[in-house]
Structure formats: structure tokens, C-alpha cells
Structure 1
Amino acid sequence: MAGFATEGVPTQVKGETHVVFSVEVRDVDLWREGKLEVEIYLDKSALQDLLFQLNQLETAGDHCHFMAPAWGGNELSETPMIEGNVIANHLKITLVE
């Protein structure tokens, strides 16, 4: 299993520094009981990007995507912040009216 990132510290992936933006499911086994929890961890750089993308949604778009390298993106971390959490490789945010 991969090591765990330190909150607020950029992680190393393939020798390059990436921002911390991790979308994780906590206690994935509890989803059957309707107790699914999603946790989001991000550093200031990722927060700025998220806010920019959300602003773009409001003014000129209908959805935005964030993906981990395994899914062809580079916005999401592939290393969970919390041991036992499961990483989401894709986050889609959709504006509804």
C-alpha cells in the first residue's frame, strides 16, 4: 500500500511535485447502511484551483472534472490522507438549475 500524505504538504508523484487535493470515502463498508462519508483534503493551491473552477461553473459552464493520474488527470492525489480511506479517482461537479 502507498504511504500516506501529510496534510497540506505537496506529494511526490513520478518525481514531480503535485498539490494535495484528495477526495476520499471513509469507511466504505458502511455505504450499505446509508452512512457513506466523503472527505476532501486540499492545500491552498488546490483550493485556489477549486474556487477558480467553481467560478467558471457559475459564469460559463455546466460541469467540471478533477481526476487522478490513473484516470488521465493531475488534479487529484492518488495517496489517501487517512489510512483506511478509499481514494476517488474522479470528481465531477455539476451545476443544476
Structure 2
Amino acid sequence: MTDKPAELLTFELCENGDEVEIHLNDEGLSNLINYLVRLKKSRDHEHLMTEEWGGNELTSIKQGSGNTLLQKVTLRHW
């Protein structure tokens, strides 16, 4: 594992490809809650992306050694 940034929110695909891990700290958790509250109000969707993909919602430092970092996560409210 690498050092944790000040804000941590990553979605990572586990090595076996069957699981998603969400890594976050207090600030990342607060931001995720805010995204979910906004999504609940809008009844639409939210794109969470790393800086490399044009966003700033997700951290781009992988936390799980065998994991694959997901660059974009789309939350959809149906």
C-alpha cells in the first residue's frame, strides 16, 4: 500500500475481478456522502473521476497492491 493522500476516495477492482473495494478516509467519506445526497435529490447520475480523466472526485493513488484503480465511477439513481 502507498501513503494515503489528504483526501482519499478510490474505487478499485480486486485482483480476482469479482469484487470492488472502496478506499476512503474521513474527508473522502464526507465527499461520497455529499455525492450520494446530491444524487438522491437529482434522481439522475453522478460521474466520479480521477484527475487524469478530467475530474477531481476520485484519488488516483491505488491503495490495494493487486488491485486495478478505476478511473471513472458512474452512480445512477433509477
Query: TM-score, normalization: structure 2?
Result: 0.87
Q: Distance in 2 between matches of 1:61 and 1:37?
A: 26
8 Å CA contact 1:19, 1:75 repeated in 2:
no
Q: Which has the larger radius of gyration?
A: 1
Q: Distance in 1 between matches of 2:8 and 2:2?
A: 8
Q: Distance in 1 between matches of 2:71 and 2:77?
A: 20
Once the 2 structures are TM-superposed, how far is the Cα of residue 60 of structure 1 from its aligned partner?
A: 2.2
Q: 1:21-36 counterparts in 2 under 5 A?
A: 21-27=9-15, 30-31=16-17, 36=18
CA RMSD after TM alignment: 1.5
Q: Distance in 1 between matches of 2:2 and 2:55?
A: 19
Q: Which runs of 5+ in 2 are unaligned?
A: none
Number of paired residues?
Answer: 78
